[in-house]
């Protein structure tokens, strides 16, 4: 067992336990906090995959923005669903079965993958400046970059419209 393997196993265990708590814990605010732990575990795995930039992006967007947004929404809508109400619907057994079947299928595919046991490529270092240039390069990825920006603007305007206080007569 090498050091990266030990780090991977510990992080994977923490991430999986946190994810299980997210979907089972009855109090939604606690579920949000467990979600932060799970997302942080993913960020650690990004560092282990030697991409520090995406780890920072993961912390800045997922933990900083999305998780906080979700917790605030939980607090805004708290009064309607008390923590003693059942949080899991009647079909939870069938849902668990479906999830297990999908996981088994994915694991079968993973076990049959030809490259499954190989190690990482040696010269992986892709510089941050190369990524920045490729994102605005006409021969690079300027189209997905611009489409993503337009999508973000549309989503922001749309969510403001949807969440606006209903006017008289609605």
Contact (CB, 8 A) for 11 and 41: yes
Token output for 154: 């549309």
107 is a contact residue toward other proteins (CB under 8 A): yes
* Site string (108-137) toward other proteins, x via CB under 8 A: --xx-x-xxxxxxx-xx-x---xx--xx--
Contact between 50 and other proteins per CB under 8 A: yes
Considering beta carbons, is residue 118 or 168 the nearer one to other proteins?
118
Per CB under 8 A, which of residues 65..84 are in contact with other proteins? 65-66, 69-70, 73-74, 76-77, 80-81
The answer to whether the beta carbons of residues 116 and 110 sit under 8 Å apart is yes
Binds other proteins by CB under 8 A, chosen from 23, 30, 37, 59: 23
1 binds other proteins (CB under 8 A): no
Q: Show Cβ contacts of residue 43 under 8 Å, excluding neighbours closer than 6 positions.
A: 55, 58, 59, 62, 63
Q: In whole angstroms, give the CA distance from residue 68 to residue 87.
A: 21
Residue 10 in the binding site for other proteins (CB under 8 A): no
- Residue 48 in the binding site for other proteins (CB under 8 A): yes
Q: Do residues 31 and 21 make contact, with C-beta atoms less than 8 angstroms apart?
A: yes
């Amino acid at each position: 067992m090498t050091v990266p393997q030990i780090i991977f196993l510990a992080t994977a265990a923490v991430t999986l336990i946190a994810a299980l708590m997210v979907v089972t814990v009855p109090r939604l605010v606690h579920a949000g906090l467990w979600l932060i732990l799970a997302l942080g575990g993913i960020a650690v795995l990004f560092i282990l995959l030697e991409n520090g930039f995406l780890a920072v992006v993961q912390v800045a967007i997922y933990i900083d923005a999305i998780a906080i947004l979700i917790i605030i929404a939980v607090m805004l809508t708290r009064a309607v669903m008390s923590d003693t109400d059942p949080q899991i619907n009647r079909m939870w057994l069938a849902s668990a079965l479906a999830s297990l079947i999908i996981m088994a299928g994915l694991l079968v595919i993973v076990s049959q993958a030809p490259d499954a046991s190989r190690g990482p490529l040696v010269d992986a270092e892709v510089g941050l400046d190369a990524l920045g240039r490729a994102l605005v390069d006409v021969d690079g990825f300027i189209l997905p970059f611009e489409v993503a920006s337009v999508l973000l603007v549309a989503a922001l305007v749309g969510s403001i419209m949807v969440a606006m206080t209903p006017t008289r007569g609605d």
